[in-house]
Amino acid sequence: MKKALVIIVFLLLSCDTNSSITKPDVFLSSEKMENILYDLTLLKAIKTSYNDQEGKALFNDAYIFRKYNIDSTILAQNQLYYAQSPKESMVIYKRIEQRLKKAKDSINALLRQEKEMKELSAE
């Protein structure tokens, strides 16, 4: 019982309620973070559309890391940093959502135009 009490006290004292993550050494601006997360989202969507392993192997996160000259650790540190500020994170994700919706609308418009062109040429 005494050991359990000592362990519980130790655990409570070791918990820091004011633990805030400091700004990463390689800080990504909110715009760059938005671009990275947008690209990662597109990349994931592309990967899920491929059924074969060769196609999936072409699209991996390494491309994004090279494009933005970062690594997975830098991205993870910045994601933790931005997670401390839910309002700023929400702004980033809302902008990503808007960009994805705009891209989807553009693709749908192109598909409609293509369909109309095929219908006209079939006549």
- Res 9 pLDDT > 90: no
Task: Report the C-alpha gap between 49 and 98 in whole angstroms.
Answer: 21
pLDDT at 8: 63
pLDDT, mean of residues 10-14:
56
Task: Give the residue, 1 or 7, on which the prediction is more confident.
Answer: 7
pLDDT at 35: 97
Burial degree of 60 (CB within 10 A; 0-12, 13-18, 19+): exposed
Q: Give the tens place of pLDDT for each residue, 88-99.
A: 999 999 999 999
pLDDT at 81: 95
pLDDT at 90: 96
Q: Give the tens place of pLDDT for each residue, 17-72.
A: 555 778 999 999 999 999 999 999 999 888 888 777 766 667 788 889 999 999 99
Which string of DSSP letters, residue by residue, matches 22-86? PPPSSPPPHHHHHHHHHHHHHHHHHHHH--SHHHHHHS-HHHHHHHTT--HHHHHHHHHHHHT-H
pLDDT at 12: 55
pLDDT at 50: 74
* Domain ranges (residues) in the chain: 25-122
